[in-house]
């Protein structure tokens, strides 16, 4: 009897994990802190293939591809590399977070490089919450 209960619990856990993983595909939107501290809208289109996350971060002038994305259970991780329109400088941001039933809570971290002209800015991770559109 205990084996039957254990298999049922394990099966439920696997089913729940698969449902959560499959639920990321789509467009998710929220707000993040902008350069001057004001809130700015942000949106992502995620696509899931196994545990690999691909997609796009929507931008004002152009869309930015999601790089090195992965989803393991409810844990998501991906990178976005932006290019300054005027100087051509590239900045990489790493997003890590947790998928919940109706939202994704992410932490955005700027990757510092020796060439990073914004390296004198105070370091600080930003937390943002995304909700599924539609």
Question: In this structure, what CATH number is given to the domain that contains residue 84?
Answer: 2.40.128.30
Rounded Cα distance, 123 and 18, in Å: 36
Residue 17 has pLDDT above 80, yes or no: no
Q: Name the pLDDT band for 10 (thresholds 50, 70, 90).
A: very low
- Nearest C-alpha neighbor of 45 from the set 94, 82, 80: 80
Instruction: Tell me what pLDDT residue 87 has.
Output: 81
| Mean of pLDDT values over 13-37 | 71
Structure tokens at 48: 């899931």
Using DSSP, state whether 13 is helix, strand or coil: helix
> How far is Cα 107 from Cα 97, in angstroms, rounded to an integer?
6
Q: How far apart are CA 79 and CA 61, in angstroms?
A: 19
30 in Cβ contact with 105 (< 8 Å): no
**Domains held by the chain: number:** 1
Residue span of the structural domain in which 76 resides: 2-132
CB atoms within 10 A of CB 79: 15
* Coil, strand or helix at 102: coil
Give the predicted TM-score (pTM) of the model: 0.76
Say what the pLDDT of residue 60 is: 76
């Amino acid at each position: 009897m205990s084996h039957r209960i254990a298999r049922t619990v394990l099966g439920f856990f696997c089913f729940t994990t698969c449902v959560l993983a499959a639920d990321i595909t789509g467009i998710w939107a929220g707000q993040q802190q902008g350069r001057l501290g004001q809130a700015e809208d942000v949106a992502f289109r995620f696509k899931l293939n196994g545990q690999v996350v691909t997609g796009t971060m929507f931008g004002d002038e152009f869309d930015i591809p999601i790089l090195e994305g992965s989803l393991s259970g409810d844990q998501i991780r991906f990178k976005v590399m932006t290019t300054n329109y005027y100087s051509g400088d590239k900045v990489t941001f790493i997003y890590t977070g947790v998928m919940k039933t109706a939202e994704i809570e992410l932490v955005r971290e700027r990757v510092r490089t020796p060439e990073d002209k914004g390296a004198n800015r105070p370091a600080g991770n930003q937390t943002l919450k995304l909700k599924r559109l539609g």
